[in-house]
């Protein structure tokens, strides 16, 4: 859930209703709908939820680094579940780095990234129909993936230039090989 659509107080009317049902947990993205992804997360808004419900809450929003995770952990000491969206797509190593409390990448980073990519690519190739849809989905994901490479702009450009499945697969092989 977000905090609301128009205002971050909207959720405060909804939480008591949800409390009547056997809900295991709620992940709250600490923004309002109207914001889309603009502006910062509203941490006071999330705190209001923590203070006003017995439901188990997971924090979600803008966790993009180990340092940022620690900040959130300090800010919300009672929260013990965290959800990561874009930060994980951009850096699939982030969850393990958080768990190991380290900002160091594994030595086989590219091999692991390549497996991660191939798993997603295989899944989308199966569930989407037609090269155009698959490539569109993968091109979009590379906006996020490219940030773990030393030259994100060059990497993203190379992917965008690949207009066929064959060219796309070749481009990915080259990018991964170059690291």
Ligand X SMILES: Cc1cc2nc3c(=O)[nH]c(=O)nc-3n(C[C@H](O)[C@H](O)[C@H](O)COP(=O)(O)O)c2cc1C
| Integer Cα distance of 37 and 30 in angstroms | 10
Going by C-alpha positions, the residue among 11, 13, 5, 60 that lies closest to residue 33 is 5
Region near ligand X per CB under 6 A, out of 70-78, 85-93, 115-123, 146-154:
85-93
| Integer Cα distance of 124 and 135 in angstroms | 9
Per CB under 6 A, the list member of 26, 76, 85, 112 interacting with ligand X is: 85
Closer to ligand X by CB, 44 or 150: give it: 44
For ligand X, what does the binding mask look like between residues 49 and 68, x meaning CB under 6 A? Answer: -----------xxxx-----
Per CB under 6 A, the list member of 84, 90, 134, 172 interacting with ligand X is: 84
| Integer Cα distance of 76 and 86 in angstroms | 21
Q: In what order do the strands lie in the sheet with 57-60?
A: 2-4, 26-32, 57-60, 82-83
* Residues 7-46 within binding reach of ligand X (CB under 6 A): 29
Region near ligand X per CB under 6 A, out of 16-24, 83-91, 147-155, 156-164:
83-91
Dihedral (CA of 49, 64, 95, 68) sign? negative
> Does 3 contact ligand X by CB under 6 A?
no
CB within 8 Å of 109: residues ≥ 6 apart: 93, 148, 179
Strand runs (DSSP E) across the chain, as ranges? 2-4, 26-32, 57-60, 82-83
Per CB under 6 A, the list member of 32, 87, 98, 175 interacting with ligand X is: 87
Closer to ligand X by CB, 82 or 105: give it: 82
Give the nearest distance from C-beta 41 to ligand X in angstroms.
Answer: 7
Closer to ligand X by CB, 29 or 156: give it: 29
Closer to ligand X by CB, 18 or 179: give it: 18
- The contact set with ligand X (CB under 6 A) reads 29, 60-63, 84-87
């Amino acid at each position: 859930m977000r905090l609301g659509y128009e205002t971050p107080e909207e959720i405060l009317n909804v939480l008591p209703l949800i409390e009547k049902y056997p809900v295991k947990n709620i992940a709250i993205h600490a923004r309002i709908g109207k914001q889309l992804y603009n502006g910062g997360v509203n941490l006071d808004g999330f705190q209001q939820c923590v203070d006003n419900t017995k439901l188990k809450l997971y924090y979600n929003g803008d966790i993009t680094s180990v340092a940022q995770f620690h900040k959130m952990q300090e800010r919300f000491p009672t929260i013990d579940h965290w959800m990561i969206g874009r930060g994980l797509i951009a850096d699939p190593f982030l969850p393990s780095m958080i768990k190991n409390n380290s900002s160091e990448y594994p030595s086989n980073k590219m091999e692991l990234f390549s497996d991660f990519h191939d798993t997603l690519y295989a899944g989308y190739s199966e569930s989407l129909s037609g090269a155009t849809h698959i490539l569109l989905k993968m091109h979009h994901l590379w906006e996020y993936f490219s940030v773990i490479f030393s030259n994100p702009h060059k990497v993203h450009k190379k992917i965008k230039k690949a207009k066929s499945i064959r060219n796309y697969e070749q481009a990915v092989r080259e990018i991964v090989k170059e690291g």
